[in-house]
Structure formats: C-alpha cells, structure tokens
Amino acid sequence: MHRTKPPRRHPSRQVAAICAICFTALAAAGCSYSGGIENPLIRKATWFSYLNGDDIRDRCESLPDRFEVRLVYNGKFTEQVRSYEIKSDGAGGARVTARAMPQDAGNLLKFRLSDPLATGRWEQSTVTLSPAEREQLVARLADSGVFRRAPSGIDLKSWGSYWVSIACRDGEVFFNAWKAGSERWDQQQLWQIVRPLDNTGVPFYEPHPARFADSPTITRSSGDRQAADIHFLMTTGDNGLIGLP
C-alpha cells in the first residue's frame, strides 16, 4: 500500500508560526512589564514599560520597605543596551544582575531550532553584595542622583546615549535620566559605579550625543526602512516618561 508522506514544514515557517503566537500572547498581556526581560519577545513587547519601571512602581506602592534600583544604559539602541537590577537580599545585602546586549546580537549563524530565541538573548551575570558593600553602592548611587527626580522635558533619543534610573526607597519612587552631551551628563558616574559589578564580558559602548546622521530623517531618506522603524523618542515628565511610542 502506498502511503503519502505528510508535507514537510520548513523550519523558518515553524519559527515564524511560533513567534506569531508569542507576539499575539504578549500583545494580549497589554505590554506591561512584569518580568523576563532576558526573553527577546517579552523585551520587544514591554520595553517602554520596563524603562519606565512600571513593575517597580507597583511593588514600591504595595511594599513600602522594599529597596530596588534599575539602571538602563542606551549606548545606541541598535548597537548596545545594558541594564542593572539591584535588589535587597533580605539580609542587609543586595544582588546585582547585569545584562548587556552582545555585539553579535541577532547573528543568524547562531540560530538553532532547539532555541530559536538564543540570537536575541543578552549576556547576564549576578553579583552578591555584603551589607557594607551595599551601603557603599547606595551612597555612590545617591551621589549620582539616582534618588532624585529628573526635570521634565529631557528628550531621550534611541540613536543617542543616555542613562535612565528608576528606584524604590523608603516607599518612594524616583525616576531620573541623563543624556550624553547635556550639562547633567557629567553629574553622574553610573558606568564607573556598575563596571566592577558587571561580569557579562560585553565591552562598553562609548557614549555619544544623538547625531543627525543617525536620525530617522536620514535613514528614511536613504531608504533604510528597517533602521527608521526602530527609532524612538521619549521625554521625561512628572517622575517618569511621557510620549512613549
């Protein structure tokens, strides 16, 4: 008896179907971040909520004794983003989780059907701090303005370098931001502070002001649709971000 073989599904179509299902599920979740930033699908759907620290705000409101800090460095969104999560360990110390976009992020040569999201996953490391080390870290963060609020009206362009911080301390939320090329930039030393706590092995992308040559005006006129699509501009408002895409 002759048996007809079932049609063979192309691997790329299988991956596309999986991604479509995942994106649909994430869209249904309302794009509010609640964890899993290392997953590229979650990161894509909830990035602006993560930057604004929506999850930290919720925890700070419900747990007034909580201590938590998130630092995000945007070297250039298409080249490098780094984040640092600093959380109390419940014994007076803290855990610092560093994440960084590898230089070959999105390299299709690393694609594996067994782990289709591997090409978009960031490098990660964790460091544990003693109570004395945590106290020293908190003091240095305070000196850089992490426990102060940013003035309204700071434009943060994805094609330029900036730091964003969101902190919960003593029941209060503090949002701050610094963009390269501004007077406020020299008031912070965040990279110098977190560098000894970063074991990701990813080199630091040197900061630069947002350049017109990298703006969507240029990328669109040059026909680079993909580059133009991933530009975004945010502005600081009342203790947070406004104008989110």
The pLDDT tens digits for 123-136 are 999 999 999 999 99
- Tell me the HSE value of 168 on the side-chain side, using a 13 A CA sphere: 22
Q: What is the mean pLDDT of residues 98-121?
A: 58
Q: Which residue has the higher pLDDT, 227 or 242?
A: 242
pLDDT surpassing 70 at residue 114: no
Quote the pLDDT of residue 222: 60
pLDDT surpassing 90 at residue 44: no
Quote the pLDDT of residue 211: 85
Quote the pLDDT of residue 38: 82
Strand partners, 182: none
Mean pLDDT, all residues of the chain: 82
pLDDT surpassing 50 at residue 2: no
Q: What is the mean pLDDT of residues 200-221?
A: 83
Q: What percent of the chain has pLDDT over 70?
A: 74
Q: Which residue has the higher pLDDT, 185 or 243?
A: 185
Find the length of the chain: 245
Q: What is the mean pLDDT of residues 21-41?
A: 63
The pLDDT tens digits for 146-175 are 999 999 999 999 999 999 999 999 999 999
Q: Using only C-alpha atoms, what is the Rg of the chain?
A: 20
* pTM of the shown model: 0.80
Confidence category of residue 4, pLDDT binned at 50, 70, 90: very low
Query: What is the DSSP code (8-state) at residue 110?
Result: G
Please state, in angstroms and rounded to a whole number, the distance separating the CA atoms of residues 99 and 39. 12
Please state, in angstroms and rounded to a whole number, the distance separating the CA atoms of residues 30 and 50. 13
- Tell me the HSE value of 189 on the side-chain side, using a 13 A CA sphere: 10
Q: Which residue has the higher pLDDT, 214 or 98?
A: 98
For residue 41, give the H/E element and its range: helix 40-52
pLDDT surpassing 70 at residue 197: yes
